[in-house]
Amino acid sequence: MSIKIHKPITPGQRFRKSIVFEQVTAKSPEKSLTVALRKSGGRNNQGRYTAKRKGGGAKRRYRIIDFKRNKYDVPAKIKTIEYDPNRSALIALIAYVDGEKRYILAPEKISVGDEITSGENAPAKLGNALPLKNIPLGTPIHNIELKKGKGGQIVRSAGLSASIVAKEGKYCHIKMPSGEIRLIHLDNYATIGQLSNFEHSSVVIGKAGRKRNKGIKPRVRAVAKNPVDHPMGGGEGRSSGGRHPCNKNGLPAKGYKTRKKKKYSDKYIVSRRKK
């Protein structure tokens, strides 16, 4: 894949940078593996507007992704590599020898015709899913389970990969893309390789209309609002508010720790992302 810098024949293309998906081999998805994706418009089940900046956007269907990779010791072949509007990484359509088809997250450098498998006896090669205890140290991995059998929950975005730093007792030390080192059980599954579309972070949207196509509405600055709408609103002329930045409910916006203690999560963090 490569980054395309557009010739600015319109104002919206002045700074636009997009990705040329040379790896993608299919234009339309496998219909049996998609479901309708209904929009909420930021409203809850009572019809009240509870999530700001949501609404509109292009229609899309949800692709059902196999995060569990639980069809063990059955070889499959990569049929197509496709774009997925619901995530940043590309996806791959695989067909097992018994005829079943599934979507998986596509690793970088995988191509149509490659054979993959999952299970404890699977070799540690690109695209294969196997328990962490069978993966060599330093191997790039993605789609890692936090709970055995639940399916991959972490390292699923474009271009990401984690690596195994050490194995100790029942757990192994996983170095996350953020730099955090975390304990994960050796029986949990992960997929070998770095995820595709690593140039996703270089994309420059270029115009407001593309943001609306994604279903994201414009944001109004807090200091531009009236006092009735936000604590930082009001004032004569352009006022900065005269107080520390906060959200609509008055909670500080900068430097205030909002993370709740998670008894099942905190104890497994060996080294934090922020020192």
Give per-residue pLDDT as tens, 95-118.
Answer: 999 999 999 999 999 999 999 999
Residue 263 has what pLDDT?
63
Per-residue pLDDT averaged across 160-170, rounded?
95
Q: Quick one: pLDDT band at residue 264, thresholds 50, 70, 90?
A: low
What is the Rg, in whole angstroms, of the alpha carbon atoms belonging to the chain? 22
What are 32-81's pLDDT values in tens digits? Answer: 999 999 999 999 999 999 999 999 999 999 999 999 999 999 999 999 99
pLDDT at 261 over 80: no
In the structure encoding, which two tokens stand for residue 14, read together?
């002045």
Q: Residue 243 corresponds to which amino acid? A: R
- CATH number of this structure's domain 2-201: 2.40.50.140
**Rounded Cα distance, 85 and 89, in Å:** 9
- Residue 165 DSSP SS3: strand
Nearest Cα neighbor of 106 from 11, 218, 235, 198 is 198
% of the chain exceeding 70 in pLDDT: 99
Token readout for 193 is 């390789």
Of residues 29, 45, 262, the one with CA closest to residue 146:
262
Terminal-to-terminal C-alpha distance of the chain: 35
Strand partners, 174: 164, 182
Instruction: State what percent of residues in the chain have pLDDT above 90.
Output: 85
The predicted pLDDT at position 87 comes to 96
Instruction: Quote the mean pLDDT of the chain.
Output: 93
Q: What is the C-alpha separation between 191 and 108, in angstroms, rounded?
A: 12
> pTM value?
0.89
pLDDT at position 84 is: 96
Say what the pLDDT of residue 260 is. 77
Residues 180/163, Cβ–Cβ less than 8 Å: no
Residue matched to tokens 């195994």: 164
Q: Provide the 8-state DSSP code for 14.
A: S
Do 208 and 53 touch, CB atoms closer than 8 A? no
The rounded distance, in Å, linking the Cα atoms of 214 and 86 is 10
Do 177 and 160 contact (CB within 8 A), yes or no?
Answer: yes
Q: Provide the pLDDT for residue 169.
A: 92
- pLDDT at residue 258 tops 90: no
